[in-house]
Amino acid sequence: MESITRILEPGKTVIVTGSNIGIGLEAARHFVRLNAEKVILACRDAAKGNEAKNDIELSERKIGVVEVWHVDLGSFDSVIEFCERAKKLNRLDIVIENAGVATGVYESCEGYERQITVNVISTFLMALLLLPTLRRTATQFNVLPHLVIVSSDAHYYAAFKQRTEPSVFEALRGGDDPTDRYPVTKLLEILIVRELAVEMDKTGAPKVILNALSPGFCRTGLYRNVPFPLSTFFTVATLAVGRTSEMGSRNLFKAATAGEESHGNYIVDCSLGNVSSFVRSKEGEETQKRVFKELLFILEKIKPGVVENIWH
């Protein structure tokens, strides 16, 4: 996998969620090293965010670039508050939505299963809320902003039994398949990115590149909340064959600097990759449109008017 050496154009402002640890932290470090003017570590735990900030400043010997902003994707209000703050930025060039959870057990959060809330609903709530700021940057600075969703090859393995239910998101409120839920969230991310990219292209609004990626199987803290014995399995597996967080983070940087050919697509090993056969099937295409429509209905209830951001 190619190393990261590309120097960013001057003035870039970057947001990376879930950046106090793992691939998010290492991606933020790349952006600081490669000339970003402002890198915002968007973290649920501000204390850990400040530890990450200090770590980056020490390794890169750059002070005044990194900021720590609080956001909790387990709270819709927190996401909205964060995005309102981001509106006040002079510019916003890159958003990497890396924050996510894998639990393996049922937990309720904002009326939905926690992984659905964090990995899907809040992720795309943030995406739509930040789109106007990205587009303003495109117009004002004549640049091509990027909105990046960190997905996973886990989407290949999703059984996704709920896909035939009258309402997919209603069916996903329950906890009858805890081990399949994380792969399902990653599959939903892929489906929604593909459909959202199509809808974004229907407007005359300034171009924003939207893509998804897999960082690969990495040694990160993602599986820290998975119960025994799966936690032991993932710990041993990542130590045996997992990539370092730095290696995985290269995919984040690549997606955030990729060309228009990446719009609506999936990046693997720093190149355009293939999504699962289900995603590419007729059933996958029909499911894609259905879950996208359902998600927009949910997002509009959370924040009235947010769906219009897709086209304006």
Mean pLDDT of 215-238: 50
- Whole-prediction pTM value? 0.92
Class of domain 13-304 (CATH, top level):
alpha beta
The answer, yes or no, to whether residue 243 has pLDDT greater than 90, is no
In whole numbers, what is the pLDDT of the chain averaged over residues? 92
The answer, yes or no, to whether residue 5 has pLDDT greater than 80, is no
- The sign of the torsion formed by the CA atoms of 267, 269, 273, 274 equals negative
Who's near 178: CB < 8 A, 6+ residues apart? 103, 104, 105, 106
Q: Which of 123, 107, 95, 143 is nearest to 186 (CA)?
A: 123
Query: Which pLDDT band holds residue 244 (cuts at 50, 70, 90)?
Result: confident
| Beta strand spans in the chain (E) | 13-17, 38-43, 66-70, 94-97, 108-109, 112-113, 146-150, 209-214, 266-268, 271-272
pLDDT at 76: 99
pLDDT at 240: 40
- The sign of the torsion formed by the CA atoms of 192, 178, 156, 238 equals positive
Who's near 99: CB < 8 A, 6+ residues apart? 17, 18, 24, 42, 44, 71, 73, 118, 123
User: Does residue 56 contact residue 281 with C-beta atoms inside 8 Å?
Assistant: no
User: Does residue 114 contact residue 108 with C-beta atoms inside 8 Å?
Assistant: yes
Catalytic machinery residues: 151, 182, 186
pLDDT at 222: 53
For the chain, domain boundaries: 13-304
Q: Which of 179, 180, 174, 175 is nearest to 161 (CA)?
A: 180
The answer, yes or no, to whether residue 238 has pLDDT greater than 50, is no
Residue 200, token pair as written in the block: 């974004």
Mind listing the pLDDT tens digit for each residue in 162-209? 999 999 999 999 887 888 999 999 999 999 999 999 999 998 877 999
pLDDT at 159: 96
